[in-house]
């Protein structure tokens, strides 16, 4: 199949009898060019389907037209759908703005890949898909003066952040479960992951807030944090069942999936013998039998908003310093008509 030869600025200039500088200024909108000349240039390039070479465009505007997305390297397999959805949202917005996306994998204590990309000036801005209490990524980018946006919360109010209100969402979930308990007759147990991840702390704050608002003492002895191994989670669930726990609240869907598997192995009926809920929803929880009460945080929207905010920062336009996106509390069968 024959293809038309891509025309260049030189071709446009020669055809119109003007200089290459005149064509470049007409396209960029910079410099003093008459309206008549600008209209002639645009009419010609539209007719001939001219598209500026991205390298030349980048050199002219001192940009790479690349964005970096820093993804955590220690994510659990169950978290992959979240990051995939967020990346789709980012890619859609970046592509519409004629930017490409470079994926960078970082560990909490190893950001060398991010440092290499930034120091080699390969990108115009960065999106961080996970935030930490002590965030080396954000500190490095701030020192380098690179525009960046976090898909998550940081205590540093100078950082541009996009997140869901995890604290409020978890407060709503636990308030509902406490009402199911009829005043605390059925104790809840809470299972969470690493505290160095900000979202886990926010979810715990929400859980505490639910108890405080209802005037119920918070059961510190039934809050388990920093859970990583399957064996540790299994031991806690077994012990909690022996102690007569009425509900298990998992701070993420990975832990919740493990809990559901264990309960099936032990022939423990949900919700008849114990209620189960998750502070993050997933397709696995939705399709479980029974379906699990959880909180929905749309990841694709999160990625899209992060990208739009980053592009505004790159263009030095006004961007929201901290944006909180809506969530949905999904009440499903796993918490209906719980233990009597």
Residues 293 and 304 in one domain: no
Kindly state whether residues 290 and 310 are assigned to the same domain: no
Q: pLDDT truncated to tens, each residue of the chain (340 aa)?
A: 444 456 677 788 888 888 877 877 776 666 677 888 888 887 887 777 666 555 455 444 568 889 999 998 766 555 678 889 999 999 999 999 889 999 999 988 899 999 999 999 999 999 999 999 999 999 999 999 999 999 999 988 899 999 999 999 999 999 999 986 544 567 999 999 988 899 999 999 999 999 999 999 999 999 999 998 999 999 999 999 999 999 999 999 999 999 999 999 999 999 999 999 999 999 899 999 999 999 999 999 999 999 999 999 998 888 778 999 999 999 999 998 666 5
Query: Is position 24 within any domain?
Result: yes
Domain range for 140: 66-164+299-326
Q: Do the strands 293-296 and 328-330 form a parallel or antiparallel pair, or are they unpaired?
A: antiparallel
| Euclidean distance between CA atoms 139 and 228, whole angstroms | 26
Q: Is residue 201 part of a domain?
A: yes
Token look-up 């390039």 returns 45
Burial of 97 (0-12, 13-18, 19+ CB in 10 A): middle
First to last CA, the chain: 73
162 forms bridges with which residues in the sheet? 151, 323
Domain count, the chain: 3
- Domain-embedded: residue 340: no
Environment class of 80 (CB within 10 Å of its CB; exposed 0-12, middle 13-18, buried 19+): exposed
86 with 27, same domain: the answer is no
How many whole angstroms separate alpha carbon 175 and alpha carbon 63?
A: 49
Buried b / exposed e across 296-314, counting CB within 10 Å, b at 16+? bbbbbbbbbbbbbbbbbbb
**What is the pTM assigned to this prediction?**
0.77
Are 267 and 187 in the same domain?
yes
pLDDT of residue 59: 43
């Amino acid at each position: 199949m024959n293809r038309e030869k891509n025309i260049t600025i030189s071709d446009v200039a020669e055809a119109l009898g003007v200089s290459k500088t005149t064509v470049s200024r007409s396209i960029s909108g910079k410099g003093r060019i008459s309206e008549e000349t600008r209209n002639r240039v645009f009419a010609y390039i539209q007719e001939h389907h001219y598209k500026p070479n991205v390298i030349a465009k980048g050199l002219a505007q001192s940009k790479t037209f690349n964005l970096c997305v820093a993804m955590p390297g220690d994510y659990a397999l169950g978290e992959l759908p979240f990051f995939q959805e967020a990346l789709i949202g980012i890619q859609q917005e970046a592509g519409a703005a004629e930017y490409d996306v470079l994926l960078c994998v970082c560990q909490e204590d190893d950001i060398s890949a991010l440092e290499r990309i930034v120091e080699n000036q390969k990108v115009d801005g960065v999106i961080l898909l996970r935030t930490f209490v002590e965030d080396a990524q954000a500190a490095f980018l701030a020192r380098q003066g690179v525009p960046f946006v976090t898909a998550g919360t940081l205590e540093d109010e100078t950082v541009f952040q996009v997140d869901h209100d995890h604290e409020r969402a978890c407060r709503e979930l636990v308030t509902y479960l406490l009402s199911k308990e009829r005043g605390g007759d059925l104790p809840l147990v809470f299972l969470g992951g690493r505290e160095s991840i900000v979202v886990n702390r926010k979810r715990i704050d929400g859980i505490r807030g639910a108890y405080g608002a209802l005037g119920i003492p918070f059961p510190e002895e039934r809050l388990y944090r920093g859970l990583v191994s399957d064996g540790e989670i299994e031991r806690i669930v077994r012990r909690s069942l022996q102690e007569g726990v009425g509900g298990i609240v998992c701070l993420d869907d990975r832990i919740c999936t493990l809990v559901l598997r264990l309960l099936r192995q032990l022939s423990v009926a949900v919700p008849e013998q114990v209620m189960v809920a998750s502070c993050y929803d997933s397709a696995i929880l939705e399709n479980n039998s029974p379906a699990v009460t959880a909180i929905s945080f749309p990841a694709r929207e999160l990625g899209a908003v992060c990208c739009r905010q980053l592009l505004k920062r790159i263009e030095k336009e006004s961007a929201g310093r901290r944006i909180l996106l809506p969530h949905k509390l999904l009440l499903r069968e796993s918490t209906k008509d719980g233990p009597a």
